[in-house]
Structure 1
Amino acid sequence: MRMARTLPASRQVSYSLKDGDSFLVSDALGDIHGGDVADGLFHDGTRVLSRLRLGLDGTAPTLLSAATAHDKVVFTAHLTNRPLPPIGGSAAAGRGVIHIERSRFLWQGRLHERIVCSNYDRVPVSVPLTLEFAADFRDMFEVRGMERVRRGNYPQVEAAADRVVLRYQGLDGVERRTVLAFSTAPARLEEGMARFELRLDPRASFALYLEAGADAGQPEATRHRRAMAQARRALRARRRSGARLRGSGLLFDAWVERSRTDIALLASDLPSGRYPYAGIPWFSTPFGRDAIITALQTLWLDPGLARGVLAFLAERQAAEDSSFRDSAPGKIMHEARKGEMAALGEVPFGLYYGGVDTTPLFVALAGRYFRRTGDRAFIDQLWPALQRATGWIERSCDADPDGLLAYARGQDSGLSNQGWKDSEDSVFHEDGQLPSGPIALVEVQGYAYEALRAMAALARERGEHAAAQAWEARAGRLRRTVEARFWDEALDFYALARDGDGRMCRVLASNPGHLLYVGLPPPERAQRVIAQLASPRFDNGWGVRTLAADQPRYNPMSYHNGSVWPHDVALCAAGMARYGARRQAARLLGEVFEAATHFDMRLPELFCGFPRSAGEPPIAYPVACTPQAWSAGSVFMLLQACLGLEVDALAGEVAIEHPQLPPGVDRLWVERLDVGGARLDLVFERIGERVVAARAGGAESVRVSVRL
């Protein structure tokens, strides 16, 4: 009988780095194995280094420890040797006498690595150091499992004394290459391996610097230190943007700082501003929906991120109809990819618009950004794009028999489901059958409702009162339609969707929690939704499941049908708080916080929805992206929901209503909160059963209103 292969412990945990359009995933030893494993050095959607394995006399060293630095810029592994071969006729060097420190970072499309070998034996030792390398230049979609009929060509490897050049001539006519350069020429350099013969005296050390990039580098100590300092400064600048949170709970503070750092890590400095890429490894590229929700989560603290997201998406707004790309004039993009398969049209995701919710979310974000900042000049610049986006929403609703915003993919290569739950089986009927299209999701109607109201508010600010009235009236009609078509008295809940035959998908899913976020339901129905979401069929003790446990297709190990997504929990909690259920929101914050403690304070994209058991951690979803932008941003939306804090720059006011603090945090400071250009400090403190809030410093021109 053939036994299943178990990976060694060093390969069961991966470590990631990112800078701009490059990211790297390795195991705890710092090794890249390639093949069907989703590790490697990637640039512009292509794996440009698929193997980088360090050996001592052909044997992997022993792991002592591995970690990414606090700022998430530098990865370091500490390793030691197994027994080494003898020098001449002397005895072999013993185990654990050679220490290897392997550290690396990414900067401006290049991998910079340093390997330091130190001898702690009392006699000289020979250290036969080897580095195996390869570059398969596979597109990210190939790494994810897609098969291609044809691939390009691999010209002959070029090797010089201290470098090797690996090339791939793509079918798209683009030559991709990786130059691997060493600070010390190897004793032997051949295809796939560099071998260094080191002889170390007692207490002596040897440092090897290497770089991997599209062009030749000259790796050495000074260059390495300079690039590291630049990489750290760039990430530190992104981390410092916006207001600062500081609390009295060490673990909670660690979660906040880790989340803030992950958003800074995933954000790329683009000409249009900062833009958070979705997640590593599968989604380290611009996504529309993910970036908008991340910007909404952090808007109260750092509106600059929202500005960068809005500007980037406006520049890539669709101008033509394409069934292959699911585009139509006015739509906002779903994702953008730069790899060979996207360039050739083998996949539609070079610039793809198959997200029904991204366009209304774009408009909704613009409305919230304006209220948060009062930035009229930017909204004026954005106004034509907002009009085109709203025009697409209106045309789409006009074409629907119920006046709803629905989707149906143009070609089989596109996404079959185009809401945030975009797996093929995430929308279904009460008997488990998949619906026919076009499909109108309940939460998407909520996003469209907020988009129309946002346009009405912006139009009033611009003096366009007739347009404002028209959009407000349209939002009201949509709201009435949602109440009439989606509310199901027997379910005591809103239906998940309406299919192309007009049938309702009578399923209990978390999607109506997003209706609460935009404030569409009337108060009485909102309370019934909150009660359902807070019940054990949804709340598993670590957050809100995407699907109630007693529903057809429920599977706690699935991607969307019973798992827990932190960003989804945050939106539901923010919706609860909007209707006054702030204690329920605080409970969800506590549950997600406790889950974070089991994930090294870095919430993954999702985790399994099994019920919480005493003494047991949440169960990981095996291929979840980590870090993931909207998971990292969840803590900030959850915290805002608990604090009851809203910033209105137009009114020059910060309003705080019935604040709550997370469990274990008795005092929280919000420092350098920007309100229309003025800076404000706030403090929240638990006193007995109550939480009080007050101004702690800053501009007196900003009004602070508190309702306890």
Structure 2
Amino acid sequence: MSHDPAASAALFTHHVLKDGDSFLVANSFGDIEGGSQGLYRNDTRLLSRFRLRIGTTAPALLSAMVTRDNVFFVAHLTNRALPPLGDVAPVEGLVHVERRRLLCGERVFEWIGIRNYGSDELVLPLRFELDADFRDMFEVRGNVRPARGEQLPTRTGTHGVEFGYRGLDDVVRRSMVSFSRELAPLDPEGCIFELPSVLPPGGSDEIYIEIGSDPAPTPTRRRFRDAAALARRSMRRHQRRGAGLRSGASLFQQWLQRSRADLALLTSDLATGPYPYAGIPWFSTPFGRDAVITSLQTLWLNPGLARGVLTFLAAHQAHEQSAFLDSAPGKIMHETRKGEMSATCELPFGLYYGGVDTTPLFVLLAGAYAQRTGDLAFIDRLWGALQSATGWIERVCDANPYGFVDYQRGEDSGLANQGWKDSEDSVFHADGRFPPGPIALVEVQGYAFGALQAMADLATRRGEHEAAAKWRDRADKLRAAVEDMFWMPDIGFYGIAVDGEGRLCRVRSSNPGHLLYVGLPRPERARQVASQLLTPSFDTGWGLRTLAEGEPRYNPMSYHNGSVWPHDSALCAAGIARAGARADAARLLRDAFEAAVHFDMRVPELFCGFSHLRSAAPVAYPVACLPQAWAAGSAFMLLQACLGVTIDGWNGDIHVDQPRLPAGVEEVRLQGLAVGDSMVDLVFKRFGEQVGVFREGSGATAVPLQLRR
């Protein structure tokens, strides 16, 4: 199909479904062809090939989409001109084929409907090509293994096929594809099947398919409909968590709805509560840093997500020292994996702790959750984990000659860089040299500062005044050290890191924007940083670059050295608003919205850092996760930064500080905001240059609203 540009593009357009620990990535035809496409469960690809052909010919694509609620994938196809079949050779465009697919109970359910719009009877052979390679996710990403397990014999039956694989971890993994009708095998391997269909003029036919790891009854219409109803109910329940947002600006509203739907899709209900998996396809698993930041982005609307994340991370806190796992007592996990390569310790990511920022972010989130909800009882249950995490922060600071939180991987199998910019080339000196470790990142010091302040506040609430004073003093000392060693007075900005020799990496990156978010810098320095972040060297017009244009190693097409990450832009925007430039935060929200419009209302994990002036649309990064949790959550952090809304859960108050709305949005309604035992509705409405705030609802008057214009 190389002659057809539209068809070629459709092959590389990915459509995603997810349920629990399973997800499916297919092209616009609904086929699984290779690359990152496939059906995955627990970091293993259970189906690596799934192609539909009409005879030996690929159908032509009419349209493809995932429904706005992320429940169904739907593709509309038609036949190309076919070779003679019996007495009749169908011409192009006579047969309509619809594929409708969903994931429910970690099982794929698919319906294929066929209709003949021609005036003659058609004999239509549908061909299905199937395979399962059982590759570990890290193999799919490019890791080469010295050995693999055993591919078990393929078993075929009248209604389907079963693939099997025994891994080096001695676990047998299976994948079963079942059809509602009997199939005719076309090859000795049993991976190509034909399903004949005879269609009279105007006639139709339908086929049901199910794919899973376990045996199930023969697929039927009833099973498909029951699964569809269950999947819809589950997705509605996920999307209704937390306060709602409504806007009269239809495109802006679509962005908010799509962002909420993506968070609902990525959030799995674990035994510890809801947990947002990081992103599809590469990171559909619990990550520590990503989940904490996603929880911070949505905390004002839905504190229940933060509670689930905190509970899970506390349950998986490290208790032992391991160089291979980069673990130490009190440390919070970076990621967890369930695939074969992690189980056999070929890689350390089964339960890996190589993230220097996750532990202070965990403590910071606990403090923010308590401030939002006033839920001291939950903090009391979490207190041991918080003390242990803070103990790790203190021990690392005590071992660093300048009192900073630093990192250096324990073994070569771990991550070389362990902040959120974890690619190997993301931290460097002004001459491009990579710094010797241990490395202290500027934003991590901000997270640690926020964590120590949070512990001081929580200890005061618990009546532990001596501990509170100790943590407050440590926070003050850390702040002073950051101001002394990271600030570049000649540039008016903070450097990205201090290396193991005490040298500052004098590079302008987006990382200091996170310092503004936690409120570490003194006010005049915060304003200088905010001002520079808003200049064209950082600001693309779609979002903020991770590295200023003109810095060494700057490349707008790189992963971390000049690209735009929506979550990073949102954290910086929240910090800019905190520094007093709320109108600029509103402009950044508008820019992010315009980027979302070009990405069909679904912003990816990252995109290239070309400026708005040089490009009519943001340029995609080819292997970015989509959807991705903290990219979806960025819309809500940006909106909160503009509206200036904070909730004081201790006193049951809502504070609104100098609210702004982005250009083109005249009104935003905040519905069902939980404040203590009350539910509050707020309306933000533009009046000329001002934005007014109004309370609605029967329980609203019980909750004080404090407004500062």
Letter in 2 for 1:157: T
Q: In the aligned structure 2, how far is the partner of 1:87 from the partner of 1:6?
A: 27
Q: In the aligned structure 2, how far is the partner of 1:567 from the partner of 1:87?
A: 55
Is residue 2:162 matched to residue 1:177? no
Q: CA deviation at 1:187?
A: 3.0
Q: In the aligned structure 2, how far is the partner of 1:584 from the partner of 1:387?
A: 38
Name the residue aligned to 1:640: 640
CA contact (8 A) 1:84 1:127 kept: no
Q: In the aligned structure 2, how far is the partner of 1:82 from the partner of 1:188?
A: 24
Cα separation, partners in 2 of 1:99 and 1:578, compared to 1, 3 Å = same
Is residue 2:699 matched to residue 1:702? no
SS of structure 1 residue aligned to 2:63: strand
Q: CA deviation at 1:614?
A: 6.6
Q: In the aligned structure 1, how far is the partner of 2:7 from the partner of 2:317?
A: 45
Q: CA deviation at 1:613?
A: 2.3
Mapping of 1:13-412 within 5 angstroms? Answer: 13-34=13-34, 37-88=35-86, 90-188=87-185, 190=187, 191-218=190-217, 219-412=219-412
User: What do residues 617-666 of structure 1 show as CA deviations (whole Å, max 9, x unaligned)?
Assistant: 01111111100000000010000000011001111100001100022110
Name the residue aligned to 1:423: 423
Letter in 2 for 1:570: A
CA contact (8 A) 1:24 1:42 kept: yes
User: What do residues 218-267 of structure 1 show as CA deviations (whole Å, max 9, x unaligned)?
Assistant: 21100110011111111110100000000111010000000000000000
Letter in 1 for 2:58: A
Aligned length: 702
Q: CA deviation at 1:12?
A: 2.5
CA contact (8 A) 2:425 2:434 kept: yes
Cα separation, partners in 2 of 1:383 and 1:51, compared to 1, 3 Å = same
Is residue 2:678 matched to residue 1:681? no
Letter in 1 for 2:97: I
Residues 344-353 or 106-115, more deviating: 106-115
SS of structure 1 residue aligned to 2:16: strand
Letter in 2 for 1:187: A
Q: CA deviation at 1:693?
A: 1.0
Mapping of 1:556-571 within 5 angstroms? Answer: 556-571=556-571
Q: In the aligned structure 2, how far is the partner of 1:12 from the partner of 1:41?
A: 16
Instruction: Could you list the structure 1 runs, at least 4 aligned residues long, displaced by more than 2 angstroms after superposition.
Output: 83-88, 187-190
Q: CA deviation at 1:697?
A: 2.3
SS of structure 1 residue aligned to 2:165: strand
Q: CA deviation at 1:6?
A: 11
Q: In the aligned structure 1, how far is the partner of 2:7 from the partner of 2:617?
A: 22
Q: In the aligned structure 2, how far is the partner of 1:574 from the partner of 1:10?
A: 37
Q: CA deviation at 1:211?
A: 0.7
Cα separation, partners in 2 of 1:691 and 1:87, compared to 1, 3 Å = same
Q: In the aligned structure 1, how far is the partner of 2:311 from the partner of 2:45?
A: 29
Letter in 2 for 1:702: V
Q: CA deviation at 1:155?
A: 1.5
Residues 107-116 or 251-260, more deviating: 107-116
Q: In the aligned structure 2, how far is the partner of 1:360 from the partner of 1:188?
A: 57
Letter in 2 for 1:635: A
SS of structure 1 residue aligned to 2:80: coil
Q: CA deviation at 1:109?
A: 1.7
SS of structure 2 residue aligned to 1:8: helix
SS of structure 1 residue aligned to 2:458: helix
Q: In the aligned structure 2, how far is the partner of 1:120 from the partner of 1:216?
A: 37
Q: CA deviation at 1:550?
A: 1.2
Cα separation, partners in 2 of 1:609 and 1:552, compared to 1, 3 Å = same
Letter in 1 for 2:659: P
Q: In the aligned structure 1, how far is the partner of 2:89 from the partner of 2:531?
A: 69
Residues 330-339 or 151-160, more deviating: 151-160
Q: In the aligned structure 1, how far is the partner of 2:225 from the partner of 2:323?
A: 50
Letter in 1 for 2:707: V
Q: In the aligned structure 2, how far is the partner of 1:244 from the partner of 1:291?
A: 21
TM-score where L is the length of structure 1: 0.98
User: What do residues 179-218 of structure 1 show as CA deviations (whole Å, max 9, x unaligned)?
Assistant: 1111111133651111011111112111111111111122
SS of structure 2 residue aligned to 1:665: coil
Letter in 1 for 2:134: F
CA contact (8 A) 1:407 1:418 kept: yes
CA contact (8 A) 2:72 2:100 kept: yes
RMSD over aligned Cα atoms: 1.3
CA contact (8 A) 1:124 1:200 kept: yes
Mapping of 1:503-582 within 5 angstroms? Answer: 503-582=503-582
SS of structure 2 residue aligned to 1:546: coil
Letter in 2 for 1:681: D
Is residue 2:600 matched to residue 1:600? yes
SS of structure 2 residue aligned to 1:633: helix
Name the residue aligned to 2:610: 610
Letter in 2 for 1:617: A
Letter in 2 for 1:705: Q
CA contact (8 A) 2:652 2:704 kept: yes
Name the residue aligned to 2:665: 665
Q: What are structure 1's unaligned runs of at least 5 residues?
A: none
CA contact (8 A) 2:7 2:61 kept: no
Residues 79-88 or 642-651, more deviating: 79-88
Q: CA deviation at 1:615?
A: 6.8
CA contact (8 A) 1:540 1:609 kept: yes
Letter in 1 for 2:286: P
CA contact (8 A) 1:51 1:132 kept: yes
SS of structure 1 residue aligned to 2:152: coil
Q: CA deviation at 1:313?
A: 0.5
Residues 575-584 or 169-178, more deviating: 575-584
Residues 6-15 or 280-289, more deviating: 6-15
SS of structure 2 residue aligned to 1:114: strand
Q: CA deviation at 1:87?
A: 4.7
Cα separation, partners in 2 of 1:77 and 1:395, compared to 1, 3 Å = same
Q: CA deviation at 1:86?
A: 3.8
Residues 154-163 or 343-352, more deviating: 154-163
Letter in 1 for 2:40: F
Is residue 2:496 matched to residue 1:499? no
SS of structure 2 residue aligned to 1:673: strand
Mapping of 1:429-440 within 5 angstroms? Answer: 429-440=429-440
CA contact (8 A) 1:161 1:189 kept: no
